Structure 1
Amino acid sequence: MRHSLRFKVALVFSALTTLLLVAQALGVKTLAEAQEEKLIAALIRDDIANVLQGYRANPALLPPFDVRLNGYVSAADQPPVALPPTTRELPVGTHEIVLDDREIHIAVVPFGTGRLYRVYDFSVYEKQFRKVINVLMAGTGVFALLTIWLSYGLSGLLVRQVAGLARQVKALRLGGSIPINPGKYDEIELVGLVEAFNDYHGRMADMIEREKEFTGNVSHELRTPLTTIKTSCELLEEDPAIGAKSRVRLRQIVRAADSMRELVNALLLLAREESTQDVEPVRLTRMIETALAPFADRLARNGVKTVIDMDSNVHIAANRSALAIVLSNLTDNAVRHTSSGHVRFSYTDGWLHIGDSGSGIPAHALPHVFDRFYQARPEQPSDRGIGIGLAIVKKLCDRYGWSIEMHSEPDRGTCVSLCLPLASPGSVWPDARPASS
Structure 2
Amino acid sequence: MEFKQSLAQRIIIAFALMSALVAGAFAFGIVATVHLVEERLISAVLGGDLQRLLRMDSVSDWSHRPRPDQLFYFSGGRDDFELPKDLRHLNAGFHEVFRDQLSYHAMVEVVDGRHYVLLQDQSDFEERERVLFAVVVVGFVLSLVLAVILGWLLARRVMAPVIRLARQVRHRDQLLGLAPPLAPDYAADEVGQLAVAFDDTLGRLRDALTRERLFTSDVSHELRTPLMVLATSCELLMENPGLDSRARNQVERIARATEEMRELVKTFLMLARAQRDEGAVASKATLREVADDLIGVWRDTVE
Q: TM-score, normalised by structure 2?
A: 0.71
1:257 and 1:279 map into 2 onto residues whose CA distance is: 21
Using CA pairs under 8 Å that are at least 6 residues apart, name the structure with larger relative contact order, 1 or 2.
Answer: 2
1:179-207: CA deviation from partner (whole Å, max 9, x where unpaired)? 23644433333333333322332332232
Q: What does residue 18 of structure 1 align with?
A: 20
User: What is the CA–CA distance in structure 2 between the aligned matches of 1:277 and 1:23, rounded to whole Å?
Assistant: 67
- Is 1:188 the counterpart of 2:189? The answer is yes
Unaligned runs of 5+ in 1: 64-73, 301-437
CA distance in 2, matches of 1:84, 1:244: 134
Given the alignment of the two structures, is residue 103 of structure 1 paired with residue 116 of structure 2, yes or no?
A: no
Distance in 2, matches of 1:108 and 1:235, equals: 129
Distance of aligned partners of 1:128 and 1:296 in 2 relative to their CA distance in 1, 3 Å threshold: closer
The residue that corresponds to 2:122 in the other structure is: 122
Structure 2 counterpart of 1:234: 235
1:239 Cα deviation (Å)?
A: 0.6
Task: Name the SS of the counterpart of 2:104 in structure 1.
Answer: strand
Distance 1:90 1:223 in 2: 113
Superposition deviation, residue 109 in structure 1: 4.4
Q: In 2, distance between residues paired with 1:92 and 1:151?
A: 53
User: Which of 295, 299, 313 is the equivalent residue of 2:298?
Assistant: 295
Offset of 1:172 from its aligned partner?
5.8
What is the TM-score when the length of structure 1 is the normalising length?
A: 0.52
RMSD of aligned Cα (Å):
4.2
* CA displacement at 1:20 relative to structure 2: 1.1
Counterpart amino acid of 2:120? Y
CA offsets 1:16-38 (integer angstroms, 9 cap, x no match): 12321122112221232233333
Greater mean deviation of Cα atoms: 229-238 or 111-120: 111-120
Q: Is the Cα contact below 8 Å between 1:98 and 1:104 reproduced in 2?
A: yes
CA contact (8 A) 1:179 1:198 kept: no
1:28 to 24, 27, 30: 30
Do residues 138 (structure 1) and 138 (structure 2) align? yes
Q: How has the CA–CA distance of structure 1 residues 217 and 275 changed in structure 2, closer, same or farther, with 3 Å as cutoff?
A: farther
Partners of 1:79 and 1:298 in 2: how far apart? Answer: 115
SS in structure 2 of the partner of residue 92 of structure 1: coil
Where 2:60 maps in the other structure, the secondary structure is: helix
The one-letter code of the counterpart of 1:157 is R
1:60 counterpart SS class = coil
Change (3 A) 1:162 1:104: same
Larger helix proportion of the pair: 2
Alignment of 1:236-315 (within 5 A): 236-243=237-244, 246-247=247-248, 249-251=250-252, 253-254=254-255, 257=258, 274=278, 278=282, 280=284, 282-284=286-288, 286-300=289-303
Q: 1:97/1:283 Cα in 2 relative to 1: closer, same or farther (>3 Å)? A: same
Looking at structure 2, the residues matched to 164 and 180 of structure 1 have their Cα atoms a distance apart, in angstroms, of 14
Q: Using a 3 Å threshold, how does the CA distance of structure 1 residues 80 and 32 change in structure 2: closer, same or farther?
A: closer
Residues 123-170 of structure 1: CA distance to partner in whole angstroms, max 9, x if unpaired? Answer: 223422432342233223223322322232233333443344334434
1:297 Cα deviation after fit: 3.3
SS of match in other structure, 1:241: coil
Matching of residues 169-184 of structure 1 within 5 Å: 169-171=169-171, 173=173, 177-180=178-181, 182-184=183-185
8 Å CA contact retained: 2:70, 2:119? no
Q: Is the 2:31–2:132 Cα contact (8 Å) retained in structure 1?
A: no
How many percent of aligned residue pairs carry the same amino acid? 28
Aligned to 2:76: none
* Number of equivalences: 287
